[in-house]
Amino acid sequence: DAQNQNTEEQLAEEIFGEFAISGSTDTFNLASGYRQCSYGQLNIDPTDDPKANYGVYTAALTNIGNMSMAELEPLALAAGNLEFCNLSSLFDFVMICLPPLPNDKDRVAYAWAGSYLSVYQDDACVWPSVQMHEVGHNLGLMHSGEGCAECEYDDMTGMMGSSHTYDDGPLKCFNNPKTWQLGWFSDRHATATPLSLEWSGRLVGSAEYLSAAGDDVIVLKVEGHSEDFYVGLNRQIGINAGTEEAGDKVTIQRRDVGDGYSLSWLEAKLTTGGTYIIENFGGSNTDVTIEVSSIDIASVPGVAHVRVYANNHLSPVPTPPNITTVIPSPTPSTVSSPTPSTV
């Protein structure tokens, strides 16, 4: 009694593009986005099972018009499992594209973290930033926030902030902690422990990964505090040309220690000469400064020169000197009568 407004072929083109539809003109979608951002390390392709048309299978369900997304999810899964035996064992990712639901119209999409499953309502299934965001949850990524505690979608440098209803954009990848967590550029990760040793080096953007050389770093992790801090150059070019915040600036995010499912928070967007100070780093009575010496985006790759160093800013408690005090015999003092104060 309701159906997704996109045909199987339209869904296939908007999700897989040329990897499902020969000659497709869809320039940005789930498949192309992850291929580009990972440099071919994560390729999402349609199944070649003949029961699925271009990788899309339609399940016929009845009496669903008044249901919610959460109520429809198990019904759709049951229909898929009946046809394919076991979706979770056959496929790395499964997207359920539901029809418009008038009783659940405020919910667009959701996904199960660390799982294979994401669920979308109507056209949300064809918006690439929604696709990449929800599959990001499947990959273990949580939201990217900035500012207030309720602003967990407000870091717009990458895909785990707010999503959009655009058909072919925005063209961007992931912020520093998410990029580290995904591990695609682990050969260009670096770690700074500033209480032990000052760090200085060159940061380049993931969009220019193939041009990086020598000791160039994509993401720097600063550790030793109650949270980890991640530093990178948000190069606004190529696969990251559509980043919506802090383009060509050095960005700093913080998140819980480790690589588990955790919110990240955008803390700083620095240009040349900018600094960010982490006070009382690791409870050490020492500040740590992240300093951007220069940014050059005219070069290939664009480069930010960054230092991370400790600076003891708090005065230590002084040790009293050894002083011999001679106390003379008391002399009687003259006490005058008090003068009243005027209030």
Residue 151: is its pLDDT beyond 80? yes
Give CA separation, 225 vs 11, 147, 194, 279, in Å: 46, 20, 10, 10
pLDDT at 327: 39
For the segment 185-199, the average pLDDT, to the nearest whole number, is 98
Phi first, then psi, for residue 98 (nearest 5°) are: -90, 165
pLDDT at 34: 98
| pLDDT tens per residue across span 302-322 | 999 999 999 975 444 445 555
For the segment 254-263, the average pLDDT, to the nearest whole number, is 97
pLDDT at 1: 59
For the segment 229-250, the average pLDDT, to the nearest whole number, is 98
Helix (H, G, I), strand (E, B) or coil at 264: strand
Residue scoring higher pLDDT (165 or 336): 165
**Chain centroid offset of residue 143 CA:** 6
For the segment 225-242, the average pLDDT, to the nearest whole number, is 98
- In terms of C-beta density within 10 A (0-12 exposed, 13-18 middle, 19 or more buried), how is residue 24 classed? middle
Three-state secondary structure string covering 272-300: CCCEEEECCHHHCCCEEEEEEEEEECCCC
Residue type (1 letter), 239: I
Q: Which of 236, 16, 37, 26 is nearest to 141 (CA)?
A: 37
Percentage of the chain exceeding pLDDT 90 = 87
Residue found under tokens 């600063």 = 222
Helix (H, G, I), strand (E, B) or coil at 154: coil
Three-state secondary structure string covering 203-258: ECCHHHHHHCCCCCECEEEECCCCEEEEEEECCCCHHHCCCCCCCCCEEEEEEECC
**Chain centroid offset of residue 201 CA:** 23
- Mean pLDDT value across the chain: 91
Residue scoring higher pLDDT (252 or 323): 252
For the segment 90-113, the average pLDDT, to the nearest whole number, is 96
pLDDT at 328: 43
pLDDT at 65: 81
| pLDDT tens per residue across span 129-146 | 999 999 999 999 999 999
| pLDDT tens per residue across span 317-332 | 445 555 444 434 444 4
For the segment 198-206, the average pLDDT, to the nearest whole number, is 98
pLDDT at 5: 85
- The lowest-confidence range among 87-91, 209-213, 327-331 is 327-331
Q: How many CB atoms lie within 10 A of CB 64?
A: 17
Residues in the chain, how many? Answer: 343
Residue found under tokens 């499964």 = 94
Q: Are strands 227-233 and 250-256 parallel, antiparallel or unpaired?
A: antiparallel
- The lowest-confidence range among 148-157, 170-179, 327-336 is 327-336
Give CA separation, 134 vs 58, 140, 174, 272, 274, in Å: 21, 10, 13, 35, 34
Q: Confirm if 55 and 14 have CB atoms less than 8 A apart.
A: no
* DSSP state for residue 117 in the 8-state scheme: E
For the segment 273-293, the average pLDDT, to the nearest whole number, is 98
DSSP-derived secondary structure for 26-81: --S-HHHHHHHHHTTSS-------TTSBTTB------S-TT--HHHHHHHHHHHHH
